[in-house]
Structure 1
Amino acid sequence: MPEHPRTVHLPGFIDDRPIGRLQCIVLALCGLVMFLDGFDTQAISYMAPSIAREWGLSPSAMGPVLSSALVGLMIGYLVLSPLADRFGHRAMVIAATASFSVLTVLTTFAPSVEVLLAARLLTGIGLGAAAPSAIALTSEFAPRRRRATFVLVIYCGFSLGFVAAGMAAGTLIPLLGWRSMFLVGGVVPLVLVPLLWRLLPESPAYLIRRGRPVAHTLRRLDPSLPADTEVRSADQPDAHARIPIVRLFERRWLLGTLLLWLVFAINLAEFYALQSWLPTILENLGHPTSTVVTATTLTTVGGIAAALITGPAMDRFGAGYTLGILYVVGAVFVGVLGIVFGASLWLLLCVTFLVGCCVSGGQKSVIAFGSLFYAPDMRSTGVAWALGIGRVGGILGPIVVGLAVGAGWSTAQLFTALAVPMLVAAVTVLALARRRHQDAPAPHTQTRQPHVAVPD
């Protein structure tokens, strides 16, 4: 029998193998982390009215509490997430999940709004640290032909967490009070931590950079691989490579990084503007509460449905071109939405669903695009900073729309204006796709290098 090769190269080793049990485990565990992340992020919105009533607070007093977790998310994205490049993505996912679960449980006992605000800020930091490493691990263990699909699948978990939070709130708060939501949101991820510790593998690229054994991880993909196999990475930076945060601002990456931030900011501005103002606009136009709830929910459902199509399309036809087309179509439907508020109910709901496909679906897809845009050793940092900086758009979007509504803009004028940034995002993504193709980092040009080397 021929001797088994003793040297393998990444990412070719993963790319050339069928999807197996290990990839399914990574997909399931990281999807669960994202689901719980979304649940915890959204749950406070449903608890806010009950908290305000119990503590005798005005609605405006709850504003800082609702925003504190979002501020924490930014800190987690920008400050903690890059530490995964030093301590490992597996360690970051486990530590961040344990952190936000324990803090959420402790929040159950918050005696005042000041303590609640501080607890939500710290919880948000943990939530922000978990997501980028979960995305990086999922991306690294996915074969290239399914990478965008894998990332979109786990990010759908985040949206499903939003939906689950609403369903749980409708059942738990009337029966057990608002503290029960914190208890559920903290205990469930705490139960997940031992599974993450037992089953979640570490990033092979991280292990190679740290000079640690990798073969035992790859043997979970291919048990026939000898234990003493040497693993090399075509994407491994040289010994003098700068830390990932610094690399984002190097000449090779700077323009691409800034343009990617712009796209993230536009998409999050559109998403939060839609989520914040669509219910108010519908109510002001006289639509019943059932229509308001259905239309707003359809924007989230549309994003999940779109991910089932855009993921495979990004893998097959190219991430940038698929996302660019999605944004162009989104610009059309956002503009159309402004003129169908007075039309029949079914037409309004159909257009709202399609807007959700492009805006909420675009939010998931641009994260997949970012994970493909950056090299593996800087992927989590690049995506984390794009998410963090993009939050600025998420903050400004509702404010700008509020000013337009206050100035008396019609729905047609408002949504026509909202369509323009979607076109800007489309052009920017297409430019990024072209730039990424022409100016790929040197290691990615080594596509003809065989992934398996026969020993001497």
Structure 2
Amino acid sequence: MDQSGNKHAIITVGICFLIAVIEGMDIQAAGIAAAGIREYFGLDSSQLGIFFSTGILGLLPGALVGGRIADRIGRKAVLIWSVAIFAIFTLCTVWVNSFNTLLVVRFLAGAGLGAAMPILITLASEAVSVEKRGRAVGLMYCGMPVGAAILSLVASTEFGANWKNIFYLGGLLPIIVIPVMVWLLPESKEYLKAKSEVKTDGAVASVSQGSFKDLFNSKNLLQTLFIWVSYFFTLMVVYIMLSWLPSLFTELGFTRKEGATAQFYFMLSAAVGTIILGMLTDRWKKAYVIILMYGGILSGLLALNAADSLTQMYLASALVGAFVIGCQGVLYAFGGIVYPTEVRGTGVGVASAVGRIGAMLGPTIAGSLLTAGFGAAGVISAAIPCIVISAVFMLLLIRRI
């Protein structure tokens, strides 16, 4: 890649990393602000659960629509509007004065963020050559756990003790990033190339744009089904860990502060794991990467079940974090590899939406298992079949690419 191409890639991945940091902060925001929101709005546990789910629910239509529009009118414009929508409605979270309005603004903020994620993956993938897509997506997506870890640290300060400050921060940061995107973020070269081609007589002809149905043509059908299953079950486990890890620690007899510390280690190792697995995706045989990352998740889950000291629990949390979040980054990279340019945004967007369904179901199932008396060990054990299924379907996928 020439110097111009390197500059294009560095700027694109860097800006996408910043937006992923903002996503990571938002993932943590609801949980960190939960106690303050509960008191401010006078919510019971059921209403608080609805509040958690609404933000995730908003990711679904966002992911479906964002990638599709980006394939039609361009990655950059749709990403800027998505981030703007997220910023506006995150700030509105601070200003609403009823529970129903709170749910509406969280849903709309989630829709903005959901639209952004498939475009981030697509832009990072298309900024580099095919041989470097794994590391590009890994470097971009490691921003998610970095953002979550940053907000965990902010929450431990006097500033973070006020729940409104959490959402002020979450809304103002993307507003600061938007001008940077407008001025510096380049449009995807692959998108521009696919959108039009120069004919021999110099006229520009528009290349036919992909559609949802192209995900199910003879070439893409099995890849689409395989990646959907893997996204669904992997994100189910990811969000069980993101939502319930501190509570699982409490179930196992540790303090809430120790649970929060475990989540910090989880996120810190997740950032490192995402980068390393992304690099290995480019350098190793894809099957080896799949076996390593799902084997790592299984090892971490078993270690969580077997650990009987605080140090062992912290190490197990770090192990799970490195592989479970890193695995999500690798799946996103595969989305960029599996689909051709004209349907890449659509394909990754729909797969992300399917994954978000798993993300919504995971914490709910975990809560039901805890309520039914299965305990933390039961929740962790229930995650193991999900990982096995995901691994099998990813191995089937790589046989076709």
TM-score (norm 2): 0.90
Q: Flag structure 2 segments of 5+ consecutive residues without an equivalent.
A: none
CA contact (8 A) 2:16 2:124 kept: yes
Unaligned runs of 5+ in 1: 1-13, 214-229, 437-456
Partner of 1:203: 188
Return the alpha-carbon distance in structure 2 between the equivalents of residues 277 and 186 of structure 1. Answer: 25
Shift of 1:132: 1.1
Q: Write out aligned runs for 1:36-435 (5 A).
A: 36-171=22-157, 173=159, 177-211=162-196, 239=207, 243-340=210-307, 343-409=308-374, 414-435=379-400
Change (3 A) 1:120 1:56: same
The Cα shift of 1:91 comes to 0.7
Task: Assess, with a 3 A threshold, how the Cα gap between structure 1 residues 107 and 288 changes in structure 2: closer, same or farther.
Answer: closer
What displacement does 1:19 show? 6.3
Does the 8 Å contact 1:39/1:162 carry over to 2?
yes
Please give the secondary structure, in 2, of the residue aligned with 1:171.
Answer: coil
Aligned-partner Cα distance in 2 for 1:166–1:432? 36
AA partner of residue 69 (structure 1): G
Contact 1:49-1:59 within 8 A present in 2 as well: no
Distance change in 2, residues 1:373/1:300 (3 Å) = same
The answer to whether the 8 Å contact 2:60/2:111 transfers is yes
Once the two structures are overlaid, the 10-residue window that deviates more, 417-426 or 26-35, is 417-426
| C-alpha contact (below 8 Å) 1:268/1:394 kept by paired residues | yes
Label 1:174 to 1:243 Cα distance change in 2 as closer, same or farther (>3 A): closer
- Residue deviations 1:354-390, cap 9 Å, x none? 1222212211221112211211222221111111111
Shift of 1:125: 0.9
8 Å CA contact 1:36–1:161 kept in 2: the answer is yes
Task: Number of aligned residue pairs: give it.
Answer: 397
Structure 1 Cα separation of the partners of residues 22 and 245 of structure 2: 26
Q: Matched residue of 1:252: which SS?
A: coil
Task: Check 1:52–1:415 CA distance in 2 against 1; reply closer, same or farther (3 A cut).
Answer: closer
Equivalent position amino acid for 1:183 in 2: Y
1:32–1:157 CA contact under 8 A, matched in 2? yes
Shift of 1:92: 0.9
Deviations 1:62-116 (A, max 9, x none): 3222222211111100123311111100111111112211222333321222222
* Whole-Å separation in 2 of the counterparts to 1:28 and 1:403: 40
Q: Is the 2:67–2:348 contact (alpha carbons within 8 Å) kept by the matching residues of 1?
A: no
CA distance in structure 2 between the partners assigned to 1:310 and 1:335 by the alignment: 21
Deviations 1:257-292 (A, max 9, x none): 111111111111111222333333321332223322
Contact 1:306 1:357 in 2 (8 A): yes
Q: Structure 1 runs of 4+ off > 4 angstroms?
A: 16-19, 172-175, 410-414
Between Structure 1 and Structure 2, which shows a larger proportion of helix residues? 2
The alpha carbon displacement at 1:253 in A equals 1.0
Structure 1 CA distance, aligned partners of 2:288 and 2:337? 13
Give the CA deviation at 1:417: 4.1
Structure whose alpha-carbon radius of gyration is higher = 1
Structure 1 position 174, deviation (Å): 5.7
Residue 425 (structure 1) shift: 1.6
Match of 1:222 in 2: none
Q: Find the aligned partners of 1:346 and 1:184 in 2 and give their Cα distance.
A: 33
